[in-house]
Copies of this chain bind each other. A is one copy, B any other.
Amino acid sequence: MLAVKTIDEVRRVVHPAKQGGKRVGLVPTMGALHEGHLSLVHAAKSECDVVVVSIFVNPIQFGPNEDFEKYPRPIEKDLELCRQAGVDVVFYPEVQEMYPRELLTTVRVSKMTQTLCGKSRPTHFEGVTTVVTKLFNVVGPDFAYFGQKDAQQALVLRRMTADLDVPVTIRICPTIREESGLAKSSRNQYLNDDQRVQATSLSRALKEAVSLIKSGKKETSELIGAMETIIKTAGPCRIDYISVNDLETLEEVSRVQKPVVIALAVNIGPARLIDNIMVDAEGNEIIMFGRNVV
C-alpha cells in the first residue's frame, strides 16, 4: 500500500493505472475509520482494479461552532486498517496541500442542500461538494463510494455529478450498524456508555416509522410524532430534525406516496448523530447501490 500526502504523488500512481485501462475507485473519508468505511472499501475492491482512500478532515465543511478541532484523527490506526483492507493508495493531505491559497472557487448545489442537515448547517454541503470535486479532479476515479448513512450528502453528490457531467459513477452503500441498531459513525466516539444506549433510539424510531407505513399510516405528521416519542423517551436530547423527504428532490413531503428518505438528526450529549432509512410508498426498504440515475 502506498500512503502519500501530495496531489502530485497520487497522480503519479493513478494516472498510469488509468492509462493502462485499470478501473479506479475512490473512497473519500475524514478518517477515524470504522466498519462503515471499510464496507465502502470492500465495495470498491469488488469492482475496481485500484482502490484509493482519501483521509482528509475538510475544514470548509465544518461550521464555526462545530467539531473540526476535536474531530478524531487516528492516522496510524487508519493507515493500518486500510492496509489490512487491501487499499492500494491512501491520500492523506495536510490542509495546506488542499487549500494552498485563498479558495475563491466553490461548487454549490441548490435546493437539495436547503433541507434536512442544510438548515442547521448552512455552509456544510458547499464544503462537501467543493472538496469532493477537488478529490475527483486529483484522483480521476471511475467509481466513488459513499455511505447511505450520510444520505443527503450522497444524494447531493450524485446530483452534482450528474449536473456537471463528472465522469464518475457514484455508489451509495448501505449503512453499517452495530448489533444494537446504532449506525456506525466516527462521532459515536463522543458518546459515553449511557449515551450509546440512548442513541439506539434513533434506529428504533426509524424502524417504527417503517412499520407504521407498512400498516398503512402514511401521514408524515403521524410518523414524526411516533418517532419523536421514541427518541424523547430514551433520554435527554435535542432533536435537530425528524423529517420525511422525497428521495429525489429531498423536499419535505406531507404524505408517503413516492420513495422517501426518513431522516433525523439528534444531539445526544456532545454528539450530533444522524440516521435515515429509504423506503417506497409501501414501506419496502430501498437499496441505493446501483441506482445511479438522477
Contact = CB atoms under 8 A, between A and B. Distances in A.
Interface stretch (A77-85, A98-106, A233-241): A98-106
Contacts of A106: 107-108, 110
Interface residues of A, number: 31
A105 B108 contact: yes
Contacts of A105: 107-110, 129, 159-160, 163-164
Interface centre among A21, A106, A112, A138 (most CB of B within 10 A): A106
A254 B130 CA distance: 34
A270 interface: no
Nearest to A130: B164
Contact of A163 (B103, B162, B167): B103
Contacts of A164: 105, 107, 130, 133-134, 137
A232 interface: no
Interface in A6-21: 7, 11, 19, 21
Contacts of A166: 137
Contact of A104 (B21, B109, B137): B109
- How many copies of this kind of chain does the complex include? 2
A75 interface: no
A34 interface: no
Nearest to A163: B105
A265 to B, nearest CB: 22
A105 B108 CA distance: 5
Nearest to A167: B137
Nearest to A159: B104
Contact of A7 (B108, B134, B160, B165): B165
Given A104-B163, A130-B164, 12 more contacts: A19-B19, A101-B162, A104-B110, A104-B112, A105-B107, A105-B109, A105-B110, A106-B107, A107-B107, A107-B164, A133-B164, A134-B164
